[in-house]
Structure 1
Amino acid sequence: MTRSLQRSWRILIALLATLAVALPLAACGGGASSDTGALRKVTFMLSWAADTNHIGVYVAKNKGYYRDAGLDVDIVAVAQSGAEQAVNNGVADFALSNLTNVSTFAVKGAHIKQVMQVQQKTSAIWCALASNKTITRPKDLDGKTFATFGSNESDAVVRRMIQTDGGKGDFDKVTVGTSTFQTLESGRADFGGFYETWEGVEAKMHGPALTCFTEPDYGVPGNADSIGIITSDKLIDTDPELVKTFVQATQRGYEYAYDHGGEAASILVKEAPEANLEEDFVKESMNVIIDGQYWGDRKQIDEGTQTLGAIDYDGTQQYFDFLAQSGAYTDSYGNVIHDAPQSKDLATDRFLKQAAK
């Protein structure tokens, strides 16, 4: 399981939501018309429960960007097999994922590609409860217990951070139960992985207080959290115009959300009632994204000198190389893959509306 799935309580909510949201499987990529006219039916799958990573899709639907482009987009709950597998199997046309997940599935034989990379820098934070005074820096994680979902990727990241800070990189592990927060508070583990733009906001607004470390500060290279939109190689080959249409309408949604964070937050809360989101919390999450410029330089995007959604080929490749060197990639038989996947083969931004630089 890759790190973008390490949000256990949201995964649980998403799986429960699946029971309430019927997956319109027959609609996927079939070119069917909607009741309102000759709109192309398209299915977009969440990667976990709805949050601010998905917000541009909800904004694009709410603002009519998809309809203007001739699309009727169904936003559906994540399948139990995961969004990446659903896209690979043709169950969904598009989904939220990240390029690291694409690389992990690709070495196992999947044929998927990222076509828009929204997040341009790492948002992962590795934290202990602030009440745990024995942990003040990464090397203090040596010999401690990691609340994990069993990902080779996460192990490699934590080990590199500890070693960069002068530690050995040895730690115990325990599988997370219903949430990482609860696992730490129960005393079963000492530290775990979170995201500054979501759980970090939750901790600051509602607790518990955390002591956190970020990857770039402790030797982990490149962009680990290249969150964006994926589709299948098959859809790109058979209907590139549909891919272009969807991507550019979605791009408009994220651009609007980046410029109107508060309104976008309200739209997400309204359009995703099954997620039971607190509006003030979602607004603060958008504030963190905007202030931290996680989706790119806002001034350059507004001036048309930077493209929101462009693929960070260099940053993601640096991270892939690190994972390969750490033995984190395995094939479908569990064999370690030492050759790093190539980001240029697993992503394309040719479907984006490019900035007029």
Structure 2
Amino acid sequence: MKRKISAVVLILALLIAMTACGKEDTKESTEEKGNEKITFVLDWTPNTNHTGLYVALEKGYFEEAGLEVEVVQPPEDGAEILVGSEKAQFGVSVQDSMMPGLVGDDALPIEAVAAVVQHNTSGIISRKGEGMDTPKGMEGKKYATWDLDLEKATIKNVVEKDGGDFSKVELIPSTVTDEVSALESKSVDAIWVYYGWGGIACEVAGLDTDYFAFADINEVFDFYTPVIIGNTNWMKENEESTKGFVGALKKGYEFAIENPEEAGEILLKAAPELDKDLVLKSQEYLSKEYQADASEWGVIDPDRWNAFYNWVNEEGLTEIELEENVGFTNDYL
């Protein structure tokens, strides 16, 4: 009887030991696995549109959500291709650039999950006093064009809405990367800029300019630019990770809204090649634009989103019409 009891005790001891080892192995396996890896592709070189991302990295918001985020530069064909092919789970895009990837048999599985800036802050900048403070003033002037159908249709719309003749605008194919030099050299007279970067760069350089915003001329151009996009298929399969990523990013932008100077310093730490005066002044400007009049950072208004794509359909700027509510979701905010 004693031998039987001893045997039972021994078996129980072995089972407890095996269970403990199993738990330890699971713990070690989890520790080895670490945080889930996410690749995030920018739309351009680092700038204040991206500050919330760098704040979230610096403050550890992604780690708190169990994520390890790697930031990469975009390929020549843009962030949309990289995200659509799931080589990156998330990235930065703009509503107008997303458009070609949302239609047809080759449509990309991408959708916007958050608005970086609530309203379109882009427009036309020119040297002050040369008559281009309104679109009609672009008649007879040199406009730096990317030679894109959608872009030229936008310029045509605002010029004609202001009573001007688009055919009189001199289109100069040019990719301007330095607005100050381009305007000072008079190689062009008018440039499409995002005021929060290009416009502020002119202010910092002491260049007096005139400017008009597209959204002030025609409300249909108050579309979303830039936005955070994600791979639709990956997000559906990884809903909790997606919500964790978007939530961490949201915390980053909310911090930048409340603390523009410190947020600007965080961006400068990540990208020390940037001009400090430009970054800090741009950050102050964008801190008021990230959320603006929205109920929360990142939310996308379906009416404004659809209004722009409806205009695109009406103008025949896409061979296949864009459907209502295509290309965005607020579900992960």
TM-score between the two structures when normalised by the length of structure 2 = 0.83
Equivalent residues in 2 for 1:60-71, closer than 5 Å: 60-71=56-67
Counterpart in the other structure of 1:321: 310
Amino acid at match of 2:76: Q
Cα gap change, 1:186/1:36 in structure 2, threshold over 3 Å: closer, same or farther?
farther
Cα gap change, 1:148/1:99 in structure 2, threshold over 3 Å: closer, same or farther?
same
Cα gap change, 1:309/1:135 in structure 2, threshold over 3 Å: closer, same or farther?
closer
- 2:178 and 2:162 map into 1 onto residues whose CA distance is 24
Alpha-carbon distance, 1:34 to partner: 11
Q: Which has the higher helix share?
A: 2
Cα gap change, 1:341/1:200 in structure 2, threshold over 3 Å: closer, same or farther?
farther
What do the CA deviations read for 1:230-288 (whole angstroms, capped 9, x no partner)? 11122123222221111111111111111111111000110223xx1122321111211
SS at the partner of 1:53? helix
Equivalent residues in 2 for 1:1-357, closer than 5 Å: 38-107=34-103, 109-130=107-128, 133-170=130-167, 171-177=169-175, 179=177, 181=179, 182-273=181-272, 276-291=273-288, 293-297=289-293, 306-329=295-318, 336-337=319-320, 339-342=321-324, 344-352=325-333
- 1:186 and 1:47 map into 2 onto residues whose CA distance is 28
What do the CA deviations read for 1:288-327 (whole angstroms, capped 9, x no partner)? 1234x34233xx8xxxxx2211112111211222222223
SS at the partner of 2:240? helix
SS at the partner of 1:281? helix
- 1:246 and 1:232 map into 2 onto residues whose CA distance is 13
- 2:120 and 2:152 map into 1 onto residues whose CA distance is 17
Amino acid at match of 2:61: Y
Give the stretch that moved more between structures: 204-213 or 100-109.
100-109
SS at the partner of 2:114? strand
- 1:103 and 1:271 map into 2 onto residues whose CA distance is 31
What do the CA deviations read for 1:207-235 (whole angstroms, capped 9, x no partner)? 43221111122224252343221111221
SS at the partner of 2:326? helix
SS at the partner of 2:40? strand
What do the CA deviations read for 1:6-55 (whole angstroms, capped 9, x no partner)? xxxxxxxxxxxxxxxxxxxxxxxxxxx99986111111111101111111
- 1:223 and 1:216 map into 2 onto residues whose CA distance is 5
Give the stretch that moved more between structures: 80-89 or 97-106.
97-106
Amino acid at match of 1:281: L
Amino acid at match of 1:349: N
SS at the partner of 1:198? helix
Alpha-carbon distance, 1:99 to partner: 2.8
Whether the 8 Å CA contact 1:118–1:310 is kept in 2: the answer is: no
Alpha-carbon distance, 1:87 to partner: 0.4
RMSD value over aligned CA atoms?
2.3
Whether the 8 Å CA contact 1:103–1:341 is kept in 2: the answer is: no
For structure 2, the 5+ residue unaligned runs are 1-28
SS at the partner of 1:42? strand
Amino acid at match of 1:250: L
Counterpart in the other structure of 2:23: none
- 2:59 and 2:134 map into 1 onto residues whose CA distance is 45
- Larger of the two Rg values belongs to structure: 2
- 2:95 and 2:287 map into 1 onto residues whose CA distance is 21
Give the stretch that moved more between structures: 155-164 or 217-226.
217-226
For structure 1, the 5+ residue unaligned runs are 1-32, 301-305, 330-335, 353-357
